[in-house]
Chain A
Amino acid sequence: MDFSLSDEQEMLKRSANDFLEKESPMKQVREMVHDEKGYSPELWHKMAGLGWQGLMFPADYGGEGGSFLDIVILLEEMGYSLLPSPFFASVILGALSILEAGSEEQKKKYLPKVAKGDLLLTLATTELGARYEGDPAAVKVKATPHQGEFSINGTKIFVPYAHVADYLLCVTRTGDKAKANEGITTFIVDAKSPGITCTPLNTIGQDNQYEVRFENVMVSGQDILGGLDNGWPCVENVLQKATVALCAYMNGGAQRILEMSIDYAKERVQFGRTIGSFQEIQHQCADMSATLESSRLLTYEAAWKISEGVRCPMEVSAAKSWASESYMQASWRGMHIHGGVGCAVDHDMSLFYRRAKAAEVTLGDADIHREMIACELLD
């Protein structure tokens, strides 16, 4: 039993924090909200220079051979700085899927380029009507055999960074099976294929979510990821890992809100004293801190199990359930402590308030994860 990070992980954490503070200050983060691309390609390539995109790929695919735990450490720092980047879309959702289910040829084709920062991936799985990304019954976009290839038709939503992605991993319905999680096939679709239309979605998180329409988009059987009619297990696995990565991202955000709130409470004077001396404010900060520490432990435990290759749906759901409530509560408490100034568009607090809500419902909120735990235990 050991709860400490290795020296190497401590170093990764520190260097990521330093790097993001310097290269992606909050002013730039806020400006990026209205940027057409939604990220800085220059910064993206600097990150690739540090080995971040390929951190957990094996060396054979241009990676650093790191573990899932390393990625979680990095994600926490990205959440702390609210780094605007397609990292989650391309590396976590996209590249992880290829690592998980791709053929040797596919891994060699895509992963080294992802690691270099030269290729962006994203995952298109959610559709209208899905309360949760991991609901296979909501997958209705059809891929039908057509002249030796497949023709994809239908609409995906909440596809992150679809507008800049080079390839979309599109989760489609190919077979008519009794079980919702069967008869699903994932295709690696060239984003420039004719028939694809991307439309930005106006989301609370202002976080580059897109609707992607597929109209007779032709894709070869060579570009199936995993196997025909057998795409769902990979999606499920990747979403589990992505959930833990998101928890880390959320913990980073909650840490930032806590620090901002403490700093502000120390200097803001009302009623003739700094507001940080009021117990109401003190207790909110103490609660934020204690809840966040607990969230970190749950996240690290799940990440450690994933790194060890252990199936851990209970740990994943416990972590997301707790992280969702921790981040949300932090955003409320932070807003309370900042008062009016916190809701100014120019203030970071307003951005964290939006992002906390977005992260809560992404990859399942606490209710959904509690139901998953109930399924494991009671059914």
Chain B
Amino acid sequence: MLTTHNFEVTKEVEFTMEFEFTKEQEDFRQEVREFCQKEPWGDFAPEIETFFSPSLFKKTAEKGWLGLPFPKEYGGQGKDAVYETIFLEEVSSSGVPFGVVPYGFHNLFAHTIFECGTERQKKEYLPRILAGEMAAGQMFTEPEAGSDLASVKTTAIRKGDYYLVNGQKMFSSLFDLQYGLLMARTDPSAPLEKGISLFILDKSLPGISSIPVEVMFDLRTTQVFFDNVKIPRENLIGEENRGWDYFMRVKPYYWHKSRVIDLGGQQMFLNGLIQYVREAEGNGQPLSKNPAVRQKIAELVIDHKTARLLVYRLAWERSKGLDISACSHTIKIICDGIYLRFVNKAMQVLGLAGQLGGGASCAPLSGIIEGLYRFGALYQFIDSGGTSTAKNLVATHILGLPEFK
């Protein structure tokens, strides 16, 4: 009997804290790993160039892995988020070119329909999405609505059985796909966050035009213009003017999944980097004996461990139905920093050779680090308003500090 202050507690209770996977989870990891080793994923590479591979998504869906955390009645597997995290970690650490953007937005779309859509929308769209037959990129950002996303100006005004859409979007992703997840203002007179709605946009509708926007990372983004586009009323997701709440509700899933994909990638590159420093020489001795290199490799390992604990903690919170807002923000802040640090240090370890990109014959690690370094700017500075926006939210919504007025 343990006597604590004011409490008497028996010692018979087992610990609940547990930093290991169940047998079933380990078996599942093994199954995914073996599948990844057998599959000629390289065959998908040309399709990946378009950044969404229908055949890769279909193949994954056939295994039942695309809709792991969604209920069976909508075409999912009814597994908890820990399984999904294991799946994503394994595929990305095996080098499967899933891609943060295709998978992240595919799943953001799925979660938006599942969490916010009407029953009809769930029944109509989710099975197609989870079968890998339907996906949508984000169409949120505008020239004047970046980190301050709630100030979107594109309007969608209800006219009987359709919404009339006018305005423009910037940096839209996966624009090649038939559908997009559109954020637009349905009530221009309401306060910013109370007048926004989300739509399933069919890009074949008349009045939509676009021009590509080239960015320094290997992503295809697009500027899109709407000129009196008529979106059928049934394509409004959930209820009118609740779009901002919906977006805030599903954003953590995107943060979570994209960081797990990064995590798997980091594991693979870290292994490659460790092998590289063992073999490469500097000043006549292996790089692995260089104290500065040793410090950097250890920092990468610690960062990777930390990111891994964070994403599994969030997965566990999701699996228990707990409030994930605090942990998802921690992930946004910590993992953003880790990503950029990771690629920066990896570049530094590689020295001059680090600047060689894919295709250069003598590039270490097939030149992949160079591309990742360019991509590194995305999270910390740009994605979801960058880390700064997340810090604002943590301070005011979680730590209770006053808003700047």
Chain A interface (Cβ < 8 Å from any Cβ of B) = 1-9, 11-12, 15-16, 18-19, 49-51, 55, 64-67, 69, 262, 265-266, 273-274, 276-279, 281-283, 285-287, 289-291, 293-294, 297-298, 300-301, 304-305, 307, 314-315, 317-318, 321-322, 367, 369-374, 377-379
> Which A residues are in CB contact (< 8 Å) with B84?
none
> Which A residues are in CB contact (< 8 Å) with B404?
273, 277-279
A154 CB, nearest partner CB in chain B, Å: 31
The reply to whether A291 and B294 contact each other, CB–CB distance below 8 Å, is no
The reply to whether A266 and B295 contact each other, CB–CB distance below 8 Å, is no
Q: Which 9 A-B pairs have the closest CB atoms?
A: A282-B395, A370-B298, A374-B294, A286-B391, A286-B394, A373-B298, A15-B5, A297-B309, A290-B333
In the complex, B35 has a CB within 8 A of chain A? no
The reply to whether A371 and B17 contact each other, CB–CB distance below 8 Å, is no
The reply to whether B274 and A1 contact each other, CB–CB distance below 8 Å, is no
A12 to B7, CA, bound (A): 8
> Which A residues are in CB contact (< 8 Å) with B18?
1-2, 304
> Which A residues are in CB contact (< 8 Å) with B16?
2, 4-6
Interface string of B39-52 (1 = CB under 8 A from A): 00000000000000
B226 CB, nearest partner CB in chain A, Å: 33
> Which B residues are in CB contact (< 8 Å) with A19?
5
Residue in A closest to B322 when the chains form the complex, CB atoms: A4
Q: Apart from A6-B16, A8-B2, A15-B6, what are 6 other A-B pairs with CB-CB below 8 Å?
A: A9-B15, A49-B3, A277-B401, A293-B310, A373-B301, A378-B278
Of the four ranges (under 10, 10 to 19, 20 to 34, 35 or more), the interface on chain B belongs to 35 or more
The reply to whether B306 and A279 contact each other, CB–CB distance below 8 Å, is no
In the complex, B101 has a CB within 8 A of chain A? no
The reply to whether A293 and B327 contact each other, CB–CB distance below 8 Å, is yes
Taking a contact as CB atoms closer than 8 A, the residue among A1, A297, A314 that contacts B301 in the complex is A314
Given A3-B17, A64-B11, A294-B309; A287-B4 close (CB under 8 Å): no
A291 to B336, CA, bound (A): 12
> Which B residues are in CB contact (< 8 Å) with A321?
298, 302
Given A278-B404, A289-B398, A373-B302; A304-B334 close (CB under 8 Å): no
The reply to whether B2 and A294 contact each other, CB–CB distance below 8 Å, is no
A314 to B301, CA, bound (A): 9
Taking a contact as CB atoms closer than 8 A, the residue among A9, A50, A285 that contacts B5 in the complex is A50
Given A286-B399, A290-B334, A298-B305; A377-B405 close (CB under 8 Å): no
A378 to B273, CA, bound (A): 11
Taking a contact as CB atoms closer than 8 A, the residue among B5, B288, B306, B329 that contacts A297 in the complex is B306
> Which B residues are in CB contact (< 8 Å) with A55?
2
A307 to B20, CA, bound (A): 13
In the complex, B383 has a CB within 8 A of chain A? no
In the complex, B400 has a CB within 8 A of chain A? yes
8 pairs across A/B with beta carbons < 8 Å?
A2-B16, A19-B5, A66-B2, A69-B15, A286-B399, A318-B305, A370-B294, A370-B298
Given A282-B396, A374-B295; A66-B11 close (CB under 8 Å): yes
B31 CB, nearest partner CB in chain A, Å: 18
Taking a contact as CB atoms closer than 8 A, the residue among B13, B17, B395 that contacts A4 in the complex is B17
> Which B residues are in CB contact (< 8 Å) with A367?
295
Given A287-B391, A322-B302; A1-B402 close (CB under 8 Å): no
In the complex, B32 has a CB within 8 A of chain A? no
Given A1-B18, A18-B6; A294-B306 close (CB under 8 Å): yes
Interface string of B303-325 (1 = CB under 8 A from A): 00110011011011100000000
A294 to B25, CA, bound (A): 24
The reply to whether B294 and A322 contact each other, CB–CB distance below 8 Å, is no
The reply to whether A286 and B13 contact each other, CB–CB distance below 8 Å, is no
A283 to B396, CA, bound (A): 10
Interface string of B11-30 (1 = CB under 8 A from A): 10111111111100100000
Given A265-B401, A266-B402; A291-B334 close (CB under 8 Å): yes
B187 CB, nearest partner CB in chain A, Å: 29
The reply to whether B298 and A283 contact each other, CB–CB distance below 8 Å, is no
Residue in B closest to A67 when the chains form the complex, CB atoms: B15
Residue in A closest to B3 when the chains form the complex, CB atoms: A51
The reply to whether A290 and B17 contact each other, CB–CB distance below 8 Å, is no
Given A2-B17, A15-B7, A290-B334; A283-B274 close (CB under 8 Å): no
The reply to whether A371 and B295 contact each other, CB–CB distance below 8 Å, is yes
The reply to whether A377 and B333 contact each other, CB–CB distance below 8 Å, is no
Given A262-B399, A290-B329, A297-B309; A6-B17 close (CB under 8 Å): yes
The reply to whether A287 and B333 contact each other, CB–CB distance below 8 Å, is yes
> Which A residues are in CB contact (< 8 Å) with B198?
none
In the complex, B9 has a CB within 8 A of chain A? yes
In the complex, B277 has a CB within 8 A of chain A? yes
In the complex, B388 has a CB within 8 A of chain A? yes
